[in-house]
Amino acid sequence: MNEQRPITIIVVIIVIGVVLLTKLFLIQVVDDSFLKKAESNAIQRVVDHPYRGLVYDRTGKILVYNYPIFDLMVIPREFQVGDTTRFCEIFKISKEYLIDTYNAARKYSSVKPSPLIKQISTTDFARIQDFLIDYPGLFVMTRSVRSYPQPSAANALGYIGEISSGQLERDSSQYYKQGDYVGLSGIEGFYENDLRGVKGVKYKLVNVRGVDKGSFKDGEFDTASVAGKNLVSTIDLELQQYGEMLMAGKRGSVVAIEPKTGEVLAMISAPTYDPNLLTGALFGNNYMELNRDESKPLFNRPIMAMYPPGSIFKIVQSLVGLQMGVLTPNTTYSCNRSLVACHNHPSPVNLFGAIRNSCNPYYHQAYRAMINREVSRNTFKDTELGLNTWRESVLKFGLGSPLGIDIKNEKGGSIPSSTVYDRKYGEGRWKYSTIYSLSIGQGEMLVTPLQMANLAAIFANKGYYYPPHMIKAIDGDSNKIPEEFRTRKNVGIDAHHFDLIQDAMAEAIYGTAARAAIPDITIAGKTGTAQNPQGEDHSVFIAFAPKENPQIAIAVYVENAGWGGRAAASTASLMIEKYIRREVKRLDLEEYVLVGKFM
């Protein structure tokens, strides 16, 4: 009866063996997830963070550097402190703080390090360094934060911050990890790839308690970090600081450009903030506070604020008219105030007089001649065609779309095309009388202060510009800056047309902005007033100097400061003097601007 049973037992033995081997085959050979888990268990990837590149101004002064801060870390299990009172004295902490922090650290892990004292300064670190040896279980972790020796150009330089989850998802290169710091705005944002350097990585073996057990395969897969590239900014720190001083307590922008190169010499956004606020541990709180601030210090006005260009646009109109052949230096119109308001000046005027006196009726009539070329019998159609042809010419001045400056979030302004009016009034239902405000830079037209400064540079250069940029060399090499900043752009206006313009602008200083005149430096400039439906008009002025050999082109916006001839022209004039002479002698004018009572 029992003869079959030994066979059954042998079968059971074999079945057990096969079951075990099958399961083993499944987890060892078929399923490779265990291998990955094993690696994440025992192989710790320690990222070696590179030093972020530094930023210098054009004269070699440092704008942004890395400041080391020290965190005192504690490994609770190894930590021994004999005399608590003495310990607290040395490390300048209270007994309660020590006990609370230590208990919290032990709760987190008794073998992994936790911070005991965060963000110790270099001086404090030097003091405590020698005592560390007396206390086992303590060690120092060095980190670096961005730091700004001169709290200037905050918005242009931008800031770095922890990468957002959205950015992480978009990062197709898979370079970033949660918790990494990236440039979020300004130069920091635009040159992120140059500044960040290359992360190194070390593979360490750790045991179950996270204790270091040496490097993985003798460091075969380890890579060293490569420090980020240093940048030389086009900013002239001295000029920048002077501009910030002038703009203190006001709202507005100053953009100064070197016309021959497109290098931005100064970019002032007022009000501004101390860039040191957005570094280190206080980033979050300070950011919230700045963000809530009603004066919007984080709003980078020079590239983000958009205003109607106002009278200054008449120069563009003149140039386009000259190039089209609609205008000649001798074209004369009467100052017919029934068309549009004007101020008192002799009438009729030729082109020179129109610029000098900023005559509104002149441009109303000149612009009609540019738009209604009688290409089509239908006046509506004719206006549409005329507007679009004209627009093409205007866009070449770098208007209507971002100039592509190397700062994030640049706005482009707008120059309306026929579709804008079609949408607004219906196709074939608008004509010149609908759009005439464009003639004097009003209406559906917006520019940024940067575009205005670029216009000044175009006038200075007699018809070309290099896209404005903030960085002139990467790693000491000026050829490493993006190609487009080294590419000259022509605006399609013959150079000789600019002679009359420059003369008129130089002359206009004495007519509309006498304050701006500087002895022995010929300034060519134009005032403007950006209409502001919310309140007082904005004071606008653009200029370049010296007229004969332009070294600086500038645009100044002072919000709610009324007519361009006062606040903006004075500020621009002081900036030009500062840049060309390196010192300002007209202290009364400086005082006038600093006091800021323009109305």
Partner 1 sequence: MRQDDLYINKIDWISIAIYSVLVIIGWINIYAAVYDEQSVKSIFDFSINSGKQLVWIGTAILLITVIMVADYRLFENLSLILYGFFIILLIITPFIGKEVNGQILSVGFGSFRIQPAEFAKFATALALARLMERSAFDLNQIKYQLQAIGVIMVPVILIMLQPDTGTAMVYFAFFIMLYREGMPQWYYAFGLSFIAITLLSLGIENNLYLAIGVGVIILILILLGKKKVSRIVSLVGIGILIVGYSYSIDLVVSKLPEHQQNRVMVLFNPNLDPLGVGWNVTQSKIAIGSGGFFGKGYLEGTQTKFDFVPEQHTDFIFCTLGEEFGWVGSLVVIVLFCALLIRLVILAERQKNRFSRIYGYCVISILLFHFMINIAMTIGLFPVVGIPLPFFSYGGSSLWSFTILLFIFIKLDSQRIQLLSRIG
Query: C-beta of 6: minimal distance to partner 1 in Å?
Result: 5
Rg, C-alpha atoms of the chain: 33
Q: Which is closer to partner 1, CB of 38 or CB of 514?
A: 38
Q: How far apart are CA 219 and CA 280, in angstroms?
A: 32
- Pair 579, 571: CB distance under 8 Å: no
- Of the candidate spans 19-27, 114-122, 182-190, 477-485, the one that interacts with partner 1 by CB under 8 A turns out to be 19-27
Q: Which is closer to partner 1, CB of 38 or CB of 126?
A: 38
Helix (H, G, I), strand (E, B) or coil at 395: helix
Answer for which of 140, 205, 521, 580 binds partner 1 (CB under 8 A) is: 205
Q: Which is closer to partner 1, CB of 16 or CB of 599?
A: 16
Which residues are CB-neighbours of 370 under 8 A, at least 6 positions away? 317, 320, 321, 324, 326, 386, 390
Q: How far apart are CA 218 and CA 38, in angstroms?
A: 18
Indicate the helix (H) or strand (E) that contains 548: none
Q: Is 476 in the site for partner 1 (CB under 8 A)?
A: no
Helix (H, G, I), strand (E, B) or coil at 562: coil
Q: Is 227 in the site for partner 1 (CB under 8 A)?
A: no
Query: C-beta of 23: minimal distance to partner 1 in Å?
Result: 5
Query: C-beta of 114: minimal distance to partner 1 in Å?
Result: 19
Q: How far apart are CA 301 and CA 76, in angstroms?
A: 50
159-198 footprint of partner 1 as x/- string (CB under 8 A)? ----------------------------------------
Q: How far apart are CA 299 and CA 597, in angstroms?
A: 24
Q: Which is closer to partner 1, CB of 14 or CB of 141?
A: 14
Q: Is 19 in the site for partner 1 (CB under 8 A)?
A: yes
**Alpha-carbon torsion (563, 565, 570, 572), positive or negative:** positive
- Pair 588, 553: CB distance under 8 Å: no
Answer for which of 21, 111, 126, 495 binds partner 1 (CB under 8 A) is: 21
Q: Which is closer to partner 1, CB of 131 or CB of 221?
A: 221
Q: How far apart are CA 322 and CA 308, in angstroms?
A: 23
Residues 279-318 contacting partner 1, CB under 8 A: none
- Pair 76, 144: CB distance under 8 Å: no
38-77 footprint of partner 1 as x/- string (CB under 8 A)? xx-xxx----------------------------------
Closest by Cα among 29, 471, 424, 437 to 235: 471
Residue found under tokens 């501004």:
272
Q: Is 207 in the site for partner 1 (CB under 8 A)?
A: yes
Query: C-beta of 73: minimal distance to partner 1 in Å?
Result: 22
Q: Is 25 in the site for partner 1 (CB under 8 A)?
A: yes
Q: Which is closer to partner 1, CB of 1 or CB of 133?
A: 1
Q: How far apart are CA 386 and CA 374, in angstroms?
A: 9
- Of the candidate spans 7-15, 149-157, 430-438, 452-460, the one that interacts with partner 1 by CB under 8 A turns out to be 7-15
Instruction: Label residues 280-294 b or e (16+ Cβ within 10 Å = b).
Output: beebeebbeebeeee
Helix (H, G, I), strand (E, B) or coil at 574: helix
Q: Which is closer to partner 1, CB of 39 or CB of 293?
A: 39
Size of the site for partner 1 (CB under 8 A): 39
For the chain, how many residues are written? 599
Residues 92-111 contacting partner 1, CB under 8 A: none
The angle at the Cα of 356, spanning 354 to 360, to the nearest 5 degrees, equals: 40
- Of the candidate spans 56-64, 202-210, 250-258, 587-595, the one that interacts with partner 1 by CB under 8 A turns out to be 202-210
The residue ranges that bind partner 1 (CB under 8 A) are 1-2, 5-6, 8-10, 12-14, 16-17, 19-21, 23-25, 27-29, 31-35, 37-39, 41-43, 205-209, 213-214
